[in-house]
């Protein structure tokens, strides 16, 4: 099956009370691991690509070519969306032209009127081409220059204004943060999430910063309309840990252990296990 928009998979997830994982890709191993996990778990999946990761992989065309090639060569039959994560206005348009099936336009750092205008334009451009669109209200916090900020909490009225533009899914800050959560993290603001759900109706909601959120909070968020959960840092951590172990145990010095395919294998396998674990928690296993 070729790439699909995230619309159908998220609307079904929203109706049936589970969430589809967005897992960010960085290279070939990451992509192959996530697709393999989705196929084995018989789960729909969203491959997230930040603009930085796309640049690292040499550009949007390479990403599209690699992912489409893998869908074919790995005989992937589960629904897969290729999604731009936290895209700029220009980035979102360029991804649509390159063949992505879904984009996020993150206008949360603009004043709300400008966010609305720009989101509207991306929605029109994407809708004409059958591409799903994620918009964001209330910037999601994270670590910047070593300073950990508390995640912003979105204004439900602004969420409604953006949801009404015809976006497919909406990311709203509810105290979530990208990267590791600090020890004194206050947790997710479920009251605000509930207000956002009440005001936006059946709109699939997106939870960013999915790494390190306790399972009970994930389940509560899903029960309040979250249908897409983004995970990146957790997979980077397990990949790094497995790779470090391989080197620290001196395995690269035994026989042909220096072969890059051997060095990257333990991390690759940990990504598969990590993705499947998340799919079980999110409830998307066997929902393809």
Among 8, 61, 85, 183, the active-site one is: 85
Are the C-beta atoms of residues 133 and 168 closer than 8 Å to each other?
yes
| Beta-ladder partners of 265 | none
Enumerate residues 8-27 that contact ligand 13P by CB under 6 A.
24
| Beta-ladder partners of 205 | 170, 226
Of 99, 149, 166, 179, the one binding ligand 13P by CB under 6 A? 179
Enumerate residues 28-57 that contact ligand 13P by CB under 6 A.
48
Of 36, 101, 102, 211, the one binding ligand 13P by CB under 6 A? 211
In this complex, which beta carbon is closest to ligand 13P, that of residue 87 or of residue 156?
Answer: 87
| Piece of the chain touching ligand 13P by CB under 6 A; list 31-39, 187-195, 226-234, 239-247 | 226-234
In this complex, which beta carbon is closest to ligand 13P, that of residue 14 or of residue 178?
Answer: 178
In this complex, which beta carbon is closest to ligand 13P, that of residue 142 or of residue 257?
Answer: 142
Kind plus residue range of the DSSP H or E element containing 231:
strand 226-231
Phi, psi of 25 (to 5 degrees): -105, 150
**Residue 210 binding ligand 13P, by CB under 6 A:** yes
State the burial class of residue 282 (Cβ atoms within 10 Å of its Cβ: 0-12, 13-18, 19+).
buried
Are the C-beta atoms of residues 171 and 208 closer than 8 Å to each other?
yes
Of 232, 270, 271, 275, the one binding ligand 13P by CB under 6 A? 232
How far apart, in Å, are the Cα atoms of 29 and each of 124, 138, 180, 209, 256?
34, 33, 23, 22, 19
**Is 85 in the active site?**
yes
**Residue 178 binding ligand 13P, by CB under 6 A:** yes
**Residue 108 binding ligand 13P, by CB under 6 A:** no
In this complex, which beta carbon is closest to ligand 13P, that of residue 200 or of residue 230?
Answer: 230
Kind plus residue range of the DSSP H or E element containing 103:
strand 102-105
Q: Measure the CA–CA gap between 257 and 270, rounded to whole angstroms.
A: 18
In this complex, which beta carbon is closest to ligand 13P, that of residue 188 or of residue 246?
Answer: 188
| Residues near ligand 13P (CB under 6 A) | 24, 48, 85-86, 178-179, 208-211, 230-234
The residues annotated with a catalytic role in the active site are: 85
């Amino acid at each position: 099956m070729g790439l699909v928009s995230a619309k159908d998979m998220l609307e079904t997830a929203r109706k049936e009370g589970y969430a589809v994982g967005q897992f960010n890709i960085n290279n070939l191993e990451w992509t192959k691991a996530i697709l393999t996990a989705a196929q084995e778990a018989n789960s729909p999946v969203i491959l997230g690509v930040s603009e930085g990761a796309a640049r690292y992989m040499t550009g949007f065309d390479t990403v599209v070519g690699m992912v489409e090639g893998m869908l074919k060569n790995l005989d992937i039959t589960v629904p897969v969306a290729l999604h731009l994560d936290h895209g700029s206005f220009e980035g979102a348009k360029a991804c649509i032209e390159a063949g992505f099936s879904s984009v996020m336009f993150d206008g949360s750092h603009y004043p709300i009127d400008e966010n609305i205008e720009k989101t509207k334009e991306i929605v029109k451009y994407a809708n004409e081409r059958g591409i799903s669109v994620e918009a964001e209200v209330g910037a999601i916090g994270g670590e910047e220059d070593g300073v950990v900020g508390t995640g912003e909490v979105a204004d439900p009225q602004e969420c409604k204004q953006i949801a009404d533009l015809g976006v497919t899914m909406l990311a709203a800050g509810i105290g979530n943060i990208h990267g590791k959560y600090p020890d004194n993290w206050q947790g997710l603001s479920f009251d605000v999430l509930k207000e956002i759900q009440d005001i936006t109706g059946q709109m699939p909601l997106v939870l960013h910063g999915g790494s390190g959120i306790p399972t009970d909070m994930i389940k509560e968020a899903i029960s309040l309309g979250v249908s897409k959960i983004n995970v990146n840092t957790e997979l980077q951590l397990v990949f790094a840990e497995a790779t470090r172990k391989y080197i620290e145990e001196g395995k690269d010095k035994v026989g042909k252990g220096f072969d890059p395919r051997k060095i990257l294998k333990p991390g690759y396998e940990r990504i598969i296990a990590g993705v499947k674990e998340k799919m079980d928690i999110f409830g998307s296993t066997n929902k393809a």
